[in-house]
């Protein structure tokens, strides 16, 4: 039987009506012209494919989260404002002493640089898990966890056992994970933690209505806070791959940071915003900054995400690159920057800044690895050094600006971190910490191979076309 022509006409009409609605939203909210044009062409040419894809992948802002932050929960807003006031006495006595590039980061992150901290650079998975485990075992009041990926392997089971033991001692545990990053985590793992008394939530629990059509966004943060006194942030998730014990898998090279002092409250507040979104709960804890001053380092906790008013992660990288005087070294497992970042890196190199980008030769994302090759000609012509780390998969996210400051966190040099992921970074101006980051990256660079234009131009035309084609997918990588 031939289909009813009127039904076909209605279906096609509804598709194009939906397409028009999507285009209307794009024109009001787009962040990049290239992405907007690509979506509009797709919606006009293939609406039956593009409309459902846009509903899943096309959102540019994470709706609901910022409303919960600024309007939905007065207690949360009051707490954020109180932290800014409370840390005034703990921050630089005269904030004007901070140069402008650091002052603007305070405004973007809505947190101050705090004095009196002590930071420890954790250079690999073994050092990180040893420090994480020791902090959790010594916790006496509460433990806050937030990780993008949680696995039920040896390290994941060990963490769960420690948490269950602490719960038996009366320590409170809040466990937040990303349900997409942790898609392979067995439900029994979470059920056993909940049965032991832990409060467990994924970045979407309790908010199914608000979260609909927003699954392209990720909570990529990795942090731990114990008793409000010790905090951790960096690139390491809860999995055996960071220890190099997974059979038939390359060892992962990553970096984390341990923080003691008033900056830990900044980590707590970032966790609290995420927890409040995920569970609609407001834990009754003492959120005042720690009075005891363990060190003399100045630290800024810098959370970024798609609910922010500005593109805070992009602006962070641009601020670092544009203000670098002698060098900017960036370690990132994924190098798929947009034209703004590329232009900023080129300008920095042309004015004589030592620009080095460290990426892995072996990667868990072949698309991102191939896309990186397409930047080699532009980079080499400007004097940007791109280095491939050889012994295993380098997953660290580290930035070093001159001898001025260093940053360790979760943000990659790609569109997903810039615009789609919730990320968090610790920035410190401590000479001692900066020196340790310098030594670490210098040692890593010894284990790298500097790439040249020949790595791209010397390959087959098919390889080059593939790299360029994949680069077009940058907004989704």
Closest CA to 316 of 327, 333, 300: 300
Where among 274, 299, 324 does a domain terminate?
299
Are 231 and 374 part of one and the same domain? Answer: no
Same domain, 28 and 80: no
Is residue 387 included in any domain, yes or no? yes
pLDDT digits (tens, 9 = 90+) for 244-302: 888 778 889 999 999 999 899 889 989 988 898 888 787 877 666 556 777 889 999 99
Catalytic residue among 160, 229, 256, 397: 397
Residues 417 and 34: their CA atoms lie apart, in Å, by 18
Q: Which of 395, 404, 414, 444 is catalytic?
A: 395
Average pLDDT on 380-386 reads 95
Least confident segment among 87-91, 127-131, 164-168, 294-298: 87-91
- Identify whether 402 is a catalytic site residue: yes
Q: Percent of the chain at pLDDT above 90?
A: 56
- What is the spatial distance between Cα 474 and Cα 367, in angstroms, rounded to a whole number? 9
Same domain, 152 and 263: yes
Instruction: Check whether residue 165 and residue 295 sit in a common domain.
Output: yes
Among residues 153, 364, 402, 438, the one annotated as catalytic is: 402
> Does a structural domain hold residue 147?
yes
β 327-331/398-401 pair status: antiparallel
Please check whether residues 52 and 69 belong to one and the same domain.
Answer: no
Structural domain ending residue among the three candidates 299, 332, 361? 299
Nearest to 177 by CA among 137, 148, 153, 144: 148
pTM: 0.86
Beta strand pairing call for 354-360 and 385-389: parallel
Going by pLDDT thresholds of 50, 70 and 90, the confidence category of residue 206 is very low
User: Residue 6 domain-assigned?
Assistant: no
Q: Is residue 137 domain-resident?
A: yes
Which span out of 17-31, 108-122, 144-158, 210-224 was modeled with the highest average pLDDT?
144-158
Do 84 and 233 reside in the same domain of the chain?
yes
**Catalytic residue, candidates 124, 178, 227, 444:** 227
Domain annotation covers residue 305: no
395 is catalytic: yes
Q: Flag whether pLDDT at 344 surpasses 80.
A: yes
Asked if residue 450 belongs to a domain, the reply is: yes
The one catalytic residue among 160, 166, 220, 256: 220
Residues 145 and 280 in one domain: yes
Same domain, 144 and 71: yes
CATH classification of the domain holding 380: 3.30.870.10
Please tell me which residue in 124, 160, 166, 222 is annotated as part of the active site: 222
Do 190 and 226 share a structural domain?
A: yes
Last residue of a domain, one of 252, 276, 299: 299
Quick check: is 222 catalytic?
yes
| 191 is a catalytic site residue | no
Residue-level pLDDT at 14: 75
Residue 101 within a domain: no
DSSP string of 6-58? HHHHHHHHHHHHHHHHHHHHHHHH-S-HHHHHHHHHHHHH-HHHHHHHHHHH-
Domain that holds residue 244: 65-93+114-299
pLDDT for 90 equals 46
Residues 137, 282, single domain; the answer is yes
Pairing, β 335-336 against β 413-414 = parallel
* Residue 102 domain-assigned (yes or no): no
Predicted confidence at residue 97, as pLDDT, reads 56
Q: What is the mean pLDDT of residues 84-91?
A: 51
On whether both 193 and 264 belong to a single domain, the answer is: yes
Report how far residue 324's alpha carbon sits from residue 394's, in angstroms, rounded to the nearest whole number.
24
Q: How far apart are CA 233 and CA 141, in angstroms?
A: 20
- Percent of the chain at pLDDT > 70 equals 83
Is 227 catalytic? The answer is yes
* Token output for 58: 């096309």
Please check whether residues 185 and 128 belong to one and the same domain: yes
For the chain, what is the domain count?
A: 3
């Amino acid at each position: 039987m031939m289909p009813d022509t009127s039904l076909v006409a209605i279906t096609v009409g509804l598709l194009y009506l939906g397409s028009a609605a999507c285009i209307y939203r794009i024109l009001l909210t787009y962040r990049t012209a290239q992405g907007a044009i690509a979506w509009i062409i797709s919606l006009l040419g293939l609406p039956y494919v593009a409309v459902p894809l846009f509903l899943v992948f096309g959102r540019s802002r994470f709706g609901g989260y910022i409303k919960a932050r600024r309007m939905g929960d007065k207690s949360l807003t009051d707490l954020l404002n109180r932290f800014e006031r409370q840390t005034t006495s703990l921050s630089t006595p005269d904030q004007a002493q901070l140069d402008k590039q650091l002052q603007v980061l305070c405004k973007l992150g809505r947190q101050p640089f705090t004095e009196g901290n002590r930071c420890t650079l954790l250079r690999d998975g073994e050092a990180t898990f040893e420090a994480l485990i020791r902090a959790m075992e010594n916790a006496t009041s509460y433990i806050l966890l937030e990780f993008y990926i949680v696995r039920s392997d040896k390290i994941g089971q060990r963490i769960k056992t420690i948490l269950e033991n602490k719960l038996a001692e009366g320590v409170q545990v809040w466990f937040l994970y990303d349900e997409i990053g942790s898609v392979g985590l067995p439900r029994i793992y979470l059920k056993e933690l909940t049965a032991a008394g832990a409060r467990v939530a994924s970045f979407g629990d309790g908010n199914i209505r608000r979260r609909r059509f927003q699954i392209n966004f990720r909570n990529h943060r990795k942090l731990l806070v114990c008793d409000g006194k010790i905090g951790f942030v960096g690139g390491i998730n809860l999995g055996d791959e960071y220890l190099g014990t997974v059979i038939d898998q390359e060892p992962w090279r990553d970096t984390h940071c341990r923080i003691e002092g008033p900056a830990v409250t900044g980590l707590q507040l970032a966790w609290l915003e995420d927890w409040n979104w995920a569970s609609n709960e407001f834990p009754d804890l003492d959120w005042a900054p720690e009075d005891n001053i363990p060190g003399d380092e100045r630290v800024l906790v810098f959370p970024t995400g798609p609910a922010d008013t500005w593109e805070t992660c992009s602006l962070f990288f641009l601020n670092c690159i544009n203000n670098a005087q002698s060098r900017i070294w960036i370690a990132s497992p994924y190098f798929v920057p947009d034209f703004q970042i590329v232009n900023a890196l080129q300008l920095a190199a042309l004015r004589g800044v030592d620009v080095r980008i460290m990426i892995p030769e072996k990667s868990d994302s072949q698309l991102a690895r191939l896309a990186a090759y397409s930047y080699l000609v532009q980079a080499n012509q400007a004097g940007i050094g791109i280095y491939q780390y050889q012994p295993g998969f380098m997953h660290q996210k580290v930035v070093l600006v001159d001898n001025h400051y260093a940053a360790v966190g979760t943000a990659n040099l790609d569109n997903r971190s810039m615009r789609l992921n919730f990320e968090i970074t610790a920035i410190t101006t401590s000479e001692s910490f900066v020196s340790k980051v310098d030594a670490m990256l210098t040692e890593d660079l010894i284990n790298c191979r500097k790439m040249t234009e020949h790595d791209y131009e010397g390959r087959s035309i098919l390889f080059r076309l593939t790299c360029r084609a994949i680069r077009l997918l940058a907004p989704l990588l």
